[in-house]
Amino acid sequence: MPEPTVCLILEGSYPYVTGGVSAWVQELIMALPEVRFILYTLSPKRDQAIRYTLPPNVVGHKDLVLHEKQRSTARPRGRMDALVEDIRSMHSSFAARSAPDIEGIFRRLPAGYFMSSDAVRNPKAWEMIVEGNQAHNPVYPFADYFWSWKSAHDIAFTILGQGIPEADIYHAVSTGYAGLAGVMARLRTGKPFLLTEHGLYHKEREMEIKRAGFVKGYQRDMWINMYNDFSRLCYRYADRIISLFEYNRRRQLEMGADEDKAIVIPNGIDIPRFASVKRVKRPGFHVGLVGRVVPIKDIKTFILMAKIVADALPEARFWCIGPTDEDPAYHEDCRALVESFQIADRFTFTGKADVREFYGFLDVLLLTSVREAQPLVILEAFAAGLPVASTRVGNVPELLDYDERFLSASKDSESLARSVRYVHDHPGEIAELVKKNRETVARFYDKAEVYRKYLALYRGLAGGLAGGLAGGRA
């Protein structure tokens, strides 16, 4: 039996953005050369530069630009009023925080039909919009409600009206719009739908929306509710649901995921590649951060920590290791902050680099992110023999064994500085901790085993789940 063809559904990531989930996708494809992959990417704009060399087993790529206006080439099956009533029933289920049965809706929605025009022209559909405004948006003008509703829904209409590449399995690497496309593929083709969540998409978007001052009142609630609803649909219709760690799996179950479908498969790394790093002590005390210079990594908190440590430890040197070109304005802000603290002679932005060169001499690795799932850099550092201090995000507390000496709240530069000082002042304890962490990574986070599990999943799903992994901790 030939290996399955897998359509990877990707939103705002691979192959246009480097690092994080994109790096994971590239490694997954390269690790399974026997599997043919098709990319179905959801993008904010056309003609983005591809940032990766696509492996030879990527045999197709379709890019959907979410904000481009679409013209219908098909009409819904049956009466439009009946479709609207089905949609009204769907929204009632969402309001009750449950995932509705939407198979009847999809039977009426052929590929090539985009609902944007009918949603505002059909009298019953317009009535739904007006009722929504009256029920949820009594304070703000109707125009504010309508344009927020339209911007939220037109993207979904664009996804639902598209055809999707032919494949044996549809694998979405998040919920959100990618997950909605996966649900659509599952219901239109009958082929298996696999969902991997590195973080919880609906929670991440909720944090962003609440921080955005221009999103107000029910506009904010509308977007948050919509992302929650997408997740519920994904959890209902996915044949397997993968999270990186048990805490996130529990959150998925709370949102309606079936326990028998939900699996934990952690991130993995190339153990020999990082365990073979030659550790050579350099003069001074070297503190590093590996990550893109972007706001989510909160490089500014790393710089604030560096100033505090530099004042206490004259021998300290600081290394920010990672690409600086993704957000040039943020990078310039960070450089200016280093200059203003007068630590430029002790602080280096390396740009893109082979992190193993730095793992060879760093004394401690920091992670200052405001959001993470299960960061690979911690696993890499452990395998290479480095201690780690981090903000308390994602799966980091579990990776650091809930050791409060090395965990800090987001943006708490003083606490991070205390962790660095602890590493500096307790070399004997740290040597024992490094040894334990190395053993843990080698035992549980070998990426060869991770990819073996994915290959088993693909084969099992293509074969009708007979060989698929069972639910729970894989």
pLDDT band at 335 (very low <50, low <70, confident <90, very high): very high
Q: What is the pLDDT of residues 281-294, one digit of tens each?
A: 999 999 999 999 99
pLDDT over 90 at 216, yes or no: no
- What pLDDT is recorded for position 472? 53
Q: What are 63's two structure tokens?
A: 């890019």
With 0-12 / 13-18 / 19 or more C-beta atoms within 10 angstroms meaning exposed / middle / buried, residue 242 is buried
User: Is the predicted pLDDT of residue 71 greater than 80, yes or no?
Assistant: yes
Give the pLDDT band (50/70/90) at residue 219: confident
Same structural domain for residues 290 and 214? Answer: no
Question: Which has more confidence, 213 or 361?
Answer: 361
Nearest to 249 by CA among 196, 288, 287, 285: 196
Residue 323 sits in the same domain as residue 294 = yes
Judgement on whether residues 327 and 395 belong to the same structural domain of the protein: yes
| CATH code of the domain containing 218 | 3.40.50.2000
pLDDT number for residue 213: 74
Buried/exposed 327-345: b ≥16 CB within 10 Å, e otherwise: beebbebbbebbeebebee
Mean pLDDT along residues 47-75: 95
Task: Please tell me the predicted confidence (pLDDT) of residue 354.
Answer: 96
Classify residue 91: in a domain, yes or no.
no
Q: Is residue 110 part of a domain?
A: no
Q: Summarize pLDDT for 108-117 with one digit per residue, the tens.
A: 999 999 999 9
Domain co-membership, 456 together with 406: no
Total count of domains within the chain: 2
Looking at the structure, tell me whether residues 243 and 322 fall in a common domain.
no
Residue 224 in domain:
yes
Residue 199 inside a domain? The answer is yes
Range with lowest mean pLDDT among 32-36, 65-69, 343-347, 401-405: 65-69
Which of 150-154, 204-208, 323-327, 345-349 shows the highest mean pLDDT? 345-349
366 and 412 co-located in one domain = yes
302 lies in which domain range?
A: 271-445
Whether residues 394 and 297 share a domain: the answer is yes
The arithmetic mean of pLDDT across residues 144-161, rounded, is 91
Query: Exposure of 221 by Cβ count < 10 A (0-12 exposed, 13-18 middle, 19+ buried)?
Result: middle
Q: Does residue 468 contact residue 240 with C-beta atoms inside 8 Å? A: yes
In a domain, 76, yes or no: no
* Model confidence band, residue 105 (pLDDT cutoffs 50, 70, 90): very high
CB burial readout 451-463, b (16+ within 10 A) else e: bebbbebbbbbbe
Helices (H), 172-216: 176-189, 201-211
**Lowest pLDDT segment from 181-190, 196-205, 314-323, 405-414:** 196-205
For a pLDDT cut of 90, what percent of the chain falls above it? 81
| Structural domain includes residue 432 | yes
d(CA 268, CA 444): 8
Find the mean pLDDT for residues 351-366. Answer: 97
Residue scoring higher pLDDT (2 or 186): 186
What confidence tier does 468 reach under pLDDT thresholds 50, 70, 90? Answer: very low
Residue 95 domain flag: no
Task: Quote the pLDDT of residue 474.
Answer: 45
* Residues 202, 298 within the same domain: no
Q: Is residue 85 part of a domain?
A: no
For the segment 233-276, what is each residue's pLDDT rounded down to a tens digit? 999 999 999 999 999 999 999 999 999 999 999 989 999 999 99
- DSSP per residue, 108-142: H--TT--THHHHHHSHHHHHHHHHHHHHH-SSS-H
Question: Which pLDDT value is given to residue 465?
Answer: 55
pLDDT at residue 20, as a whole number: 80
Query: What integer is the mean pLDDT of 336-354?
Result: 97
CB of 178 closer than 8 Å to CB of 42 = yes
**Residues 413 and 311 placed together within one structural domain of the fold:** yes
pLDDT band of 467, cuts 50, 70, 90: very low
Q: Would you place residue 473 in the very low, low, confident or very high pLDDT band (cuts 50, 70, 90)?
A: very low
Instruction: Please check whether residues 173 and 243 belong to one and the same domain.
Output: yes
With a cut of 90, say whether residue 199 has pLDDT above it. no
- 161, 64: one domain: yes
398 half-sphere exposure, CB direction, 13 A CA radius: 14
Residues 432, 399: one domain?
A: yes
Residue 207's pLDDT is what? 82
Categorize the per-residue pLDDT at 470 as very low, low, confident or very high, splitting at 50, 70 and 90: very low
